[in-house]
């Protein structure tokens, strides 16, 4: 029972991060119908920038309150990522909005390669250790242990997701976003500045990605130039699992994928009589994805798309 509780908890922590990143994928997909392959790298840049700021501040003025350090690092990382996303959309996606569907996919891959190697040039190849700004305390919860960082991750992602849902469903901006995702042309006719809405969508997604990057780096105490790729992939899988284009689906898919992965990794050995070990964690996640899509081809919460528009 203790192991189970622990795996569920780990799954929730992992799932919250997946959900944050998945929201960025799903928002962009909802509006542009584009897989933003570079999103995972934005997560990485967020983590790297925050880490650089933390290291700089703690070395310049060691007496600074850790609270201020983290706020400052977080804000700077979010701003950098938002600016980055703005330029990515402007330079790599906007010119191709009426191009064949796979053209922006290739530029997205190009951006991803570019950012990864840029990060490698700036921050080097080595894994970077994240200093513990706050002392890590461990609590007991239903027989599972949870650290302060993990509590923080779950709380902050829940708050952000709730905030995002409020923005999308109850504000003027959110209404404009939803209208744009229904039809760019008609939204434009209704007086919505479609280009601006698309830019804003990218920037909101990037802000979430930056926060996710900081949380991941804090949780594993390590950051690396290639950390965004696999995370982005998993988050995209989560978005598809939940039904891409659907915000609630992204959250559900993220949490579900996190739980599947951690519970699967914990029990796959027992389930298969020791034949498959925990190395097969990712197989588990993808097999579940395939099974879900076979029965629900547009994801768990995805709308059924009609054959002809």
- Tell whether residue 190 is a contact of other proteins (CB under 8 A): no
Residue 71 binds other proteins, judged by CB under 8 A? no
Q: How far is the CB of 193 from other proteins (least distance, A)?
A: 17
Give the CA distances from residue 84 to residues 25, 33, 120, 132, 205, in Å, rounded to whole numbers and listed in that order: 15, 20, 17, 27, 11
170 binds other proteins (CB under 8 A): no
19 binds other proteins, rule: CB under 8 A: no
Selected from 100, 126, 140, 270, the binder of other proteins by CB under 8 A is 100
User: By three-state DSSP, how is residue 139 classified?
Assistant: strand
User: Residue 257 Cβ, how far from other proteins at the closest point, in Å?
Assistant: 12
Q: Using the rule CB under 8 A, is 304 a contact of other proteins?
A: no
* Single residue of 56, 67, 101, 143 touching other proteins by CB under 8 A: 101
Neighbours of 55 (CB within 10 A): 16
Q: How many Å apart are CA 113 and CA 102, to the nearest integer? A: 17
The H or E element containing residue 29 is helix 2-32
User: How deeply is 167 buried, as exposed, middle or buried, from its count of CB atoms within 10 A (0-12, 13-18, 19+)?
Assistant: middle
Q: Is 287 in the site for other proteins (CB under 8 A)?
A: yes
Dihedral of alpha carbons 278, 282, 283, 287, sign = positive
Q: Which of 83, 99, 155, 189 binds other proteins (CB under 8 A)?
A: 99
CA–CA separation, 175 and 295 (whole Å): 32
Of the pair 195, 221, the CB lying nearest other proteins is at 195
d(CA 251, CA 235): 10
CB of 42 to other proteins, least distance (A): 15
| String of DSSP letters for 234-300 | HHHHHHHHH-TT-HHHHHHHHHHHHHHHHHHHHHHHHHTTTSS-GGGHHHHHHHHHHHHHHHSTT-S
Does an H or E element contain 145, and which? Answer: strand 144-147
Q: How far apart are CA 114 and CA 120, in angstroms?
A: 10
| CB closer to other proteins out of 193 and 278 | 278
Nearer to other proteins, 103 or 151 (CB): 103
- SS3 call for 13: helix
Stretch that binds other proteins, among 72-80, 134-142, 248-256, 275-283 (CB under 8 A): 275-283
Judged by CB under 8 A, the residue of 118, 202, 242, 250 near other proteins is: 118
Q: Is the dihedral of CA 72, 130, 234, 285 positive or negative?
A: negative
Q: Which stretch binds other proteins (CB under 8 A): 50-58, 119-127, 135-143, 201-209?
A: 119-127
Q: Which is nearer to other proteins, 211 or 235 (CB)?
A: 235
126 near other proteins, rule: CB under 8 A:
no
Task: Pick the stretch among 51-59, 67-75, 149-157, 270-278 that binds other proteins (CB under 8 A).
Answer: 270-278
Identity of the residue, 156 or 282, whose beta carbon is nearer to other proteins in the bound complex: 282
Which residues contribute to the site for other proteins (CB under 8 A)?
A: 29, 32-33, 35, 91-92, 95-96, 98-107, 109-114, 116-118, 120-121, 125, 183-184, 233, 236-237, 240, 244, 274-277, 279-280, 282-283, 285-287, 289-290, 293-294, 297-299, 305, 307-309
């Amino acid at each position: 029972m203790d192991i189970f509780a622990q795996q569920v908890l780990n799954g929730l922590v992992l799932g919250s991060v997946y959900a944050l990143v998945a929201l960025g994928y799903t928002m962009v997909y909802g509006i542009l119908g584009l897989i933003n392959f570079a999103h995972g790298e934005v997560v990485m840049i967020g983590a790297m920038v925050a880490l650089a700021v933390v290291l700089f501040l703690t070395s310049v003025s060691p007496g600074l309150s850790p609270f201020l350090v983290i706020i400052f690092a977080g804000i700077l990382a979010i701003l950098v990522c938002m600016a980055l996303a703005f330029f990515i959309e402007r330079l790599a996606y906007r010119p191709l909005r009426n191009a064949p569907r796979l053209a922006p996919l290739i530029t997205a891959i190009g951006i991803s390669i570019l950012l990864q190697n840029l990060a490698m040039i700036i921050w080097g190849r080595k894994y970077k250790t994240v200093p513990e700004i706050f002392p890590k305390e461990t609590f007991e919860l239903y027989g599972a242990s949870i650290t302060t960082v993990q509590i923080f991750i779950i709380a902050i992602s829940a708050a952000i997701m709730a905030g995002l849902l409020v923005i999308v469903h109850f504000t003027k901006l959110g209404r404009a976003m939803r209208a744009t995702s229904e039809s760019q042309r008609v939204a434009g006719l209704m007086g919505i500045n479609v280009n601006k809405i698309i830019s804003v969508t990218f920037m909101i997604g990037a802000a979430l990605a930056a926060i996710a990057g900081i949380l991941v780096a804090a949780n594993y105490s390590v950051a690396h130039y290639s950390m965004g790729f696999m995370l982005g992939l998993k988050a995209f899988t989560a978005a598809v699992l939940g039904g891409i284009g659907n915000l609630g689906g992204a959250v559900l898919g993220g949490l579900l994928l996190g739980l599947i992965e951690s519970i699967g990794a914990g029990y796959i050995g027992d389930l298969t009589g020791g034949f498959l070990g925990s190395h097969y964690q990712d197989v588990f996640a993808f097999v579940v994805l395939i099974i879900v899509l076979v029965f629900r081809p547009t994801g768990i919460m995805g709308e059924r798309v009609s054959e002809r528009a």
